[in-house]
Structure 1
Amino acid sequence: MAVDEKRSCSSRLSFLRTKRAMFALTILVIISAVLIALGATHVLRSDNGSNNDNNDNNNDNNPQRPTDVNITSDGIMSALGNWKPKNSSNIASGTPLRIMALGASLVRGEFSIGNIGFRKTMRDQLVDLGVPVNMVGSQRFGDMLDNDLEAYGGNRVSQIYEHATHIVPQLQPNIFLIQVGTNNVLQNRDVDKTGTDMKNFINYLLKTSPRSTVIFSTCLTNTVPDCEPKILDVNQQYRDLIKNYTGKPVLLAEMHPSEGFPDRPQPSDIGPDGTHPSDYGYELMGHIFTKGIQEADRKGFLRWPVENGLEKDGDAGRAEANTTTVELPPPTSTTTTITSTSQTDSTNTVTTKPTAKS
C-alpha cells in the first residue's frame, strides 16, 4: 500500500511539473510573439534608431551619403529628429495641397509633350490618392487645366527667390516644390554659393508662408560638356544644406543617379540639348516629388493652408476654359491685383486670372 501511495504521489508530482512546464512554455511563446509583433511595428524602436539603421544600410552601399540625415529608400532626405508642427495635419484627413512649383525651364516642362513636364504626373498621382490639389503661382504654362506655377526659363536660384517675393505672401502655399540650380552651372554663375542662395530662399519661404513644407531637389544629371562636375558640386551643397533643418518641415528629393537610388533620370533620359529630360525622365521626376510629399505626410509636416479664397481643387472652374497658356510677366509687387483679361493670337490664348482664384 505504501508503495502504491508513493507511486501515486510521484505521478501527481510529475504531472504538476509537466503542467508547469507547459504553462511556462506557453507564456514564453506568447511573450516572444508579442515582442516580435512590437518590433515589426517599430513600437520598440525610436524613430531615430530606425532611421539610423536605414542610414547605415544606405551608407554601406554609398559611403558618401551623409550619416546625420534621414534617408528613405525612395531617396528623400531630411534632418535627423522627430519634430512635427503642433498643428500637423495629413492627407488622410483631407488636407488640401496648395502647391507652388518653383524653378526654371525644367519646372515649366519645356520640351515635353504639352509642356507639362513632371507636374501632371505628380498631380494625377496625388489626386488618385484622394487629395484635393491646387497648383498655384503667377504664371500659367502647359496643356493641363491646373497649370499654375512660378518658373522662368534660364533663371538661377537667386532669381527665382526674387520672383517668389512678389507672389508667395499673396498665395500662401502649404507645399513648395523647388527644382533649380542647373542654370547656375550652365551660366557658370554663383556655383560656389548656390547652396547659400538656396538656404536663404528656403528660409524666406518658411517665414513668409509659415504653414508650408519645402521640398527641394538636387539637379538632374547633365550631358553638356564640362557641366557634370559642377552639377555634382551643387548637389553636394544641397545635401549638406538639408542637415541644417532639424525641427523644420524641409525635405530634399534626390534626382541624380549618382547616389544609387532606383528610377532616377539617367544620361540616356536627357534630351539632345543635354539638360532637359525626355517625357520619361519628366515622369520619373513627378514620381520622385510625389514620394517627397508622401514622406512629408508621414512625418506630420503637412498643415492646412491659410483660408484666403483660393480653390482647394485647382481644376475647379477651369473645365470650360480649354486654353493653352504661355508665360506672363510676374506681378510687380505683392499688392498688385491681377485682373482677368485675355488676348488671342494664331496659336495660343493668354489668360491672366484674379488673385483670389489660382
Structure 2
Amino acid sequence: MEVEKKRSWSSRLSFLRTKRAIFALTSLVIVSVVLIALGATHVLRPDPGPDPKSDDNSSLGDDQKLNGTNTTADGIMTAAGNWKPENSSSIAQGTPLRIMSLGASLVRGEFSTDSNGFRKTMRDQLVELGVPVNMVGSQRFGDMLDNDLEAYGGNRVSQIYEHATHIVPQLQPNLFLIQVGSNNALQDLDVNKTGADMENFIDYLLMTSPRSTVLFSTCLTNTVPNCEPKILDINQQYRELIKKYQSKPVLLAEMHYSEGFPDRPLPSDIGPDGTHPYDYGYGLMGSIFTKGIQEADRKGYLRWPVENGLEKDGDAGRAGATTTTEELPPSTSTSTTNPSTATS
C-alpha cells in the first residue's frame, strides 16, 4: 500500500515537473521573440550619440566616413579627424573672404556667355549669405566687377603652381579655390604625377599664406576622345591626396558625376570642344564651390585675412572701374599694385 502511494505521488510530481518545464520553455521562447523584435525596431537600443573618434557629426548631418575621409551629402571631402586651426572664425560672424581662384580656362570661364564661368554664381551666393568678398589675383577676366583671378588657359598643375609663387606672397588670400588638372589629361603630360604636383602646390599655398583654407576640386567630365580615362585617373589621385590633410584646412569638392552626387555637370552639359561646360554647367560648379566654402565654415577652417590694405569688398574697391576679358601680364593688374593702395 505504501509503495502504491509513493508511486502515485511520484507520478503526480513527475507530471507537475513536466508541466512546469513546458511552461518555462514556452515562456522563454515568448520572451526571446519579444526581445528580438524590440531590438530589431531599435526600441531597446539607446542612441549612442556622436562617435568620439569621428569628425563633427553634428555639422556633417548625413555625411559618411569613408576610407579615411569624411564625405558630405554635397560631395565635399575632408580628411577624417576632428581639428580646427587657431583663430578660426565664421562666415556668420562676417569673416571677409579674400578669394584667389587658381586654374586654367575653366576657372577663367571661357566659352561662358559672360566670361565669368562659375565665379559670379559663387560670389553672388556668398554675398547673399552676408559674406564680404574680394576676388584677388594678377589677372582680370569676365564682365563681373570683382573679376580678379589667377588662371591661365592651357596650363597644367605645375604651371599654375609656378604662377602662384609670383602673387600669393603679396596678396595673402585666406581662401584658395583650385580647379586644374584637365590640361594634364588633354596634353597627356604628367598624368601619373598630377596628384603629387597638386600636393606640392597645396603645401606651398598653406605655407605661404598661413591663414588660408584650400578648396580644390576634381576635374569635370571630358568628352574629348580618349581623355576621360585620364580624367578619372587624376580624380582618383585627388581623392587619395585629401586623406593626407587630417590636420590642415583643406577640402576637396567633387565635380565629376561618376561619384553619384547630384547636380554635377554631365557630358550633355559640356560644350562642343569637349572640355568647357555651357552656362548651366558653370552654374553647377559655382554652387559646388559655395557648398565647399560653407563646409569649411562649419569646420571652423576660415580665418580672418591678413591686414595688408586690400579691400574687404572687391566690388566696392572696384567701383567705377572698367572690366576686361584680356589675359594681362601680371604686372599690369591692379591686384598686384602696392598692397597699401590696392583696391581689389
CA distance in 2, matches of 1:354, 1:327: 21
Partner of 2:296: 296
CA distance in 1, matches of 2:223, 2:79: 31
Alignment RMSD (CA, Å):
2.1
Task: Work out whether 1:124 is the aligned partner of 2:124.
Answer: yes
CA distance in 2, matches of 1:44, 1:205: 33
> 2:318·2:343 contact (CA, 8 Å) conserved in 1?
no
> 1:103·1:180 contact (CA, 8 Å) conserved in 2?
yes
> 2:194·2:237 contact (CA, 8 Å) conserved in 1?
yes
* 1:26-56 Cα shifts (integer Å, max 9, x gaps): xxxxxxxxx99xx6xx965447174698426
TM superposition shift of 1:319 = 2.7
Amino acid aligned to 1:300: G
Q: How much identity, in percent, do the aligned residues show?
A: 77
* 1:199-232 Cα shifts (integer Å, max 9, x gaps): 0000000000000000000000000000000000
CA distance in 2, matches of 1:205, 1:84: 18
TM superposition shift of 1:321 = 1.9
> 1:221·1:231 contact (CA, 8 Å) conserved in 2?
yes
Partner of 1:196: 196
CA distance in 1, matches of 2:279, 2:224: 19
CA distance in 1, matches of 2:235, 2:205: 20
Unaligned runs of 5+ in 1: 1-34, 57-65, 332-337, 341-350
Structure 1 segment 264-275 matched on structure 2, within 5 A: 264-275=264-275
Structure 1 segment 50-89 matched on structure 2, within 5 A: 50=57, 54-55=63-64, 66-89=66-89
CA distance in 1, matches of 2:239, 2:124: 28
Partner of 1:357: 343
Amino acid aligned to 2:248: K
Structure 1 segment 230-269 matched on structure 2, within 5 A: 230-269=230-269
* 1:294-320 Cα shifts (integer Å, max 9, x gaps): 000000000000000000000013232
Q: Cα–Cα, structure 1 residues 54 and 44, in superposed 2: closer, same or farther, change >3 Å?
A: closer
* 1:297-355 Cα shifts (integer Å, max 9, x gaps): 00000000000000000001323224334111224xxxxxx686xxxxxxxxxx98655
CA distance in 2, matches of 1:135, 1:109: 14
- So what's the TM-score if we normalise by structure 2? 0.82
Partner of 1:48: 54
Q: Which has the larger radius of gyration?
A: 2
> 2:109·2:116 contact (CA, 8 Å) conserved in 1?
yes
Q: Cα–Cα, structure 1 residues 231 and 317, in superposed 2: closer, same or farther, change >3 Å?
A: same
CA distance in 1, matches of 2:287, 2:338: 31
Task: Work out whether 1:285 is the aligned partner of 2:271.
Answer: no
- So what's the TM-score if we normalise by structure 1? 0.78
CA distance in 1, matches of 2:240, 2:317: 43
CA distance in 1, matches of 2:323, 2:255: 31
Q: Cα–Cα, structure 1 residues 254 and 339, in superposed 2: closer, same or farther, change >3 Å?
A: closer
Partner of 2:206: 206
* 1:98-121 Cα shifts (integer Å, max 9, x gaps): 000000000000000110000000
> 2:211·2:304 contact (CA, 8 Å) conserved in 1?
yes
Q: Give secondary structure in 2 for the equivalent of 1:99.
A: strand
